[in-house]
């Protein structure tokens, strides 16, 4: 049986990219309806089934402007699943700072700020959406993504029906810049010597062969990769049993330039060798 969801709900923070995600799905041939109240989700799925859309690709964009949002959405999802409709929730996230910047650039108020400040609306929305985010099948942090990068990520997750098994995004990052908020699993490569302290390697990054060879040649590097690969097989099997089709694995070091980049590439290569669909990104390369 295909693990591709028959019904996708796209939701998340205002300004985090819901419209971009919806357009990307439409370009992939999905039937998408925007700003649908949660109470109408089942009616939409029912109508889609009558015209044989439910067996294909159907998505709805739901935002916080619907009154009693979390109650309505959770109840609607339960109704859909109770009637045999496979549902997957995609939650789009972004940092407060990035959301403020985006709203200021378009000179629009936040839908929940009322007479208060922009940050007041963002804080209120986070509170309302907390439970939805916690239960989402896929969380995408768009803080560092432009519209083209977000579209690429949506295509990577939803672009094919015949991709095998779990779809994985491996992201390298620097701890000094904060954890990726959309990570399902986080590992720390700071137990390895830092190429930053090798003058010839300092200007390079983990994609450069001398840095890669230096990192992989350190005691413990291969043993870590072997052990983590085995752990991921157990996790992937559990995700499959729970119906989770997408996962983000974060690999960190101090600055996200050397060790985490090289190790993330190795993790991705090993997962591909096991037949998984893998996308790699390096969040903090070039940031220093």
The two three-digit tokens of residue 223, written as one number: 């043993």
Question: Is residue 29 a contact partner of residue 68, using CB atoms and an 8 Å limit?
Answer: no
Is 220 marked as binding a ligand? no
Comparing C-alpha atoms, which of 260, 150, 276, 119 is closest to residue 194?
260
Is 63 marked as binding a ligand? yes
Is 95 marked as binding a ligand? no
Q: Is 230 exposed, middle or buried (0-12, 13-18, 19+ CB in 10 A)?
A: exposed
Is 44 marked as binding a ligand? no
Main-chain phi, psi angles of 188, to 5 degrees: -115, 120
- How far is residue 101's CA from residue 281's CA, in Å, rounded to a whole number? 23
Is 16 marked as binding a ligand? yes
Is 15 marked as binding a ligand? yes
Close Cβ partners of 137 (under 8 Å, ≥ 6 residues apart): 88, 89, 90, 243, 244, 245, 246
Is 18 marked as binding a ligand? yes
Is 64 marked as binding a ligand? yes
**DSSP label at residue 193:** P
Q: Which parts of the chain are beta strand (E)?
A: 7-12, 31-33, 58-61, 87-93, 138-141, 167-174, 185-188, 246-253, 277-282
SS3 206: coil
Cα 179 versus chain centre, distance: 13
Is 14 marked as binding a ligand? yes
The partner residues of 11 in beta bridges, in order of sequence, read 91
Is 141 marked as binding a ligand? no
- Summarize the annotated binding site as residue ranges: 12-19, 63-66
- Summarize the annotated binding site for GTP as residue ranges: 63-66
- Summarize the annotated binding site for ATP as residue ranges: 12-19
């Amino acid at each position: 049986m295909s693990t591709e969801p028959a019904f996708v709900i796209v939701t998340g923070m205002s300004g985090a990219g819901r419209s971009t995600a919806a357009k990307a799905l439409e370009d992939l041939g999905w039937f998408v309806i925007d700003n649908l109240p949660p109470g109408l989700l089942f009616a939409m799925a029912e109508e889609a089934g009558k015209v044989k859309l439910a067996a294909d690709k159907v998505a709805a964009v739901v935002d916080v402007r619907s009154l009693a949002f979390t109650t309505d959405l959770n109840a609607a999802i339960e109704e859909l699943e109770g009637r045999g409709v496979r549902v997957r929730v995609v939650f789009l996230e972004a940092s407060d700072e990035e959301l403020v910047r985006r709203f200021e650039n378009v000179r629009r108020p936040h839908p929940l700020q009322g007479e208060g400040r922009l940050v007041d609306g963002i804080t209120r929305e986070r509170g309302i959406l907390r439970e939805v985010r916690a239960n989402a099948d896929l969380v995408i942090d768009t803080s560092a993504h432009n519209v083209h990068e977000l579209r690429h990520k949506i295509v990577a997750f939803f672009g094919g029906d015949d991709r095998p098994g779990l779809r994985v995004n491996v992201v390298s990052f620097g701890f000094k810049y904060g954890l990726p908020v959309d990570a399902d699993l986080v590992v720390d490569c700071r137990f390895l010597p830092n190429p930053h302290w090798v003058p010839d390697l300092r200007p390079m990054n983990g994609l450069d062969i001398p840095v890669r060879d230096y990192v992989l040649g350190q005691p413990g590097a291969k043993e870590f990769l072997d052990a983590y690969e085995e752990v991921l097989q157990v996790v992937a099997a559990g995700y499959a049993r729970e119906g989770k089709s997408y996962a983000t694995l974060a690999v960190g070091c101090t600055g996200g330039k050397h060790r985490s980049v090289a190790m993330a590439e190795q993790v991705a290569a090993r997962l591909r060798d096991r037949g998984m669909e893998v996308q790699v990104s390096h969040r903090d390369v070039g940031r220093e």
